[in-house]
């Protein structure tokens, strides 16, 4: 169970089932047994439009379209968005994508197909801004932070936690530093749950998690 406003993290080796799980949560396909509930209601009871409104995803590989920064961040909006829209500006800042304000054309700066005129980290920050702009109840960050350096990673998560307190975050990550402060961490290995709990709890109860942590952090950082 994930409560409103909490951060739920998923970690595991490549092929452990992390992406499969988040794809089920986002209902890209349905579970073959059991059920996933959102606000106490089976996901299958929601329409595709409802799911799209309630759940937003920032994928591991940022997807940008030919156009400009504004059209990419506001993609899917039901109404026209003003250039000075407070939510647009705030989402860019929270995603540490406010570098666009320093560009000659600002939010109207050109975006090439696939975002090839931006660095990997810049593309990812714009993708995060888009996921926040949707104003969904839940945002899934599917290994989204891996393209960011540690400082930017920390600033994005800190900004989201402090400014969007009701937003429920599901973070798939490979870096312990990205998820160690999560309310709950799920450890997967070859499709099986090997542990669930806080960072400190898993260090003492889940050998796989402790092994990952020790391979990335110094003893005093645990």
Query: What's the whole-model pTM score?
Result: 0.92
Please answer whether residues 59 and 90 qualify as being in contact, where contact means their C-beta atoms are separated by less than 8 angstroms.
no
Q: What is the three-class DSSP state of 139?
A: strand
Q: What is the pLDDT of residues 14-70, one digit of tens each?
A: 888 888 899 888 888 888 888 888 888 889 899 888 998 999 999 989 999 999 999
- Residue 126 confidence (pLDDT): 98
- CATH topology for 7-221 is Rossmann fold (3.40.50)
- What pLDDT is recorded for position 222? 73
Distance CA 58, CA 143 (A): 8
Mean pLDDT of 137-145: 95
DSSP string, 25-87: HTTSS--SSS--EETTEEGGGS-HHHHHHHEEEE-SS----SEEHHHHHTTT-SS---TT-HH
Asked if residues 145 and 82 have their Cβ atoms less than 8 Å apart, the reply is no
Contacts of 137 (CB under 8 A, 6+ apart): 4, 54, 55, 167, 168
- What is the average pLDDT across 198-203? 97
Mean pLDDT, the chain, rounded, equals 93
> How far is residue 32's CA from residue 171's CA, in Å, rounded to a whole number?
24
Task: Band the pLDDT of 137: cuts 50, 70, 90.
Answer: very high
* Spans of all domains in the chain: 7-221
């Amino acid at each position: 169970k994930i409560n409103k406003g909490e951060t739920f993290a998923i970690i595991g080796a490549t092929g452990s089932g992390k992406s499969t799980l988040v794809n089920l949560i986002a209902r890209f396909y349905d579970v073959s047994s059991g059920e996933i509930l959102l606000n106490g209601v089976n996901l299958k009871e929601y329409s595709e439009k409802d799911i799209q409104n309630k759940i937003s995803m920032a994928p591991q590989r940022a997807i940008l379209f030919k156009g400009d920064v504004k059209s990419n961040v506001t993609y899917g909006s039901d109404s026209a968005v003003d250039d000075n829209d407070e939510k647009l500006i705030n989402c860019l800042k929270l995603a540490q994508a406010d570098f666009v304000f320093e560009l000659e054309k600002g939010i109207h700066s050109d975006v090439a197909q696939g975002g090839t005129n931006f660095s990997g980290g810049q593309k990812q920050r714009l993708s995060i801004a888009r996921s926040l702009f949707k104003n969904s109840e839940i945002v899934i960050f599917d290994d989204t932070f891996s393209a960011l350096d540690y400082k930017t990673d920390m600033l994005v998560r800190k900004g989201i936690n402090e400014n969007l307190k009701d937003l429920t975050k599901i973070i798939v990550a490979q870096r312990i530093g990205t998820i160690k402060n999560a309310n709950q961490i799920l450890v997967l290995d070859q499709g099986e749950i090997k542990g669930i709990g806080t960072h400190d709890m898993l260090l003492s109860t889940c050998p796989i998690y402790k092994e990952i942590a020790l391979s990335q952090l110094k003893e005093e950082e645990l």
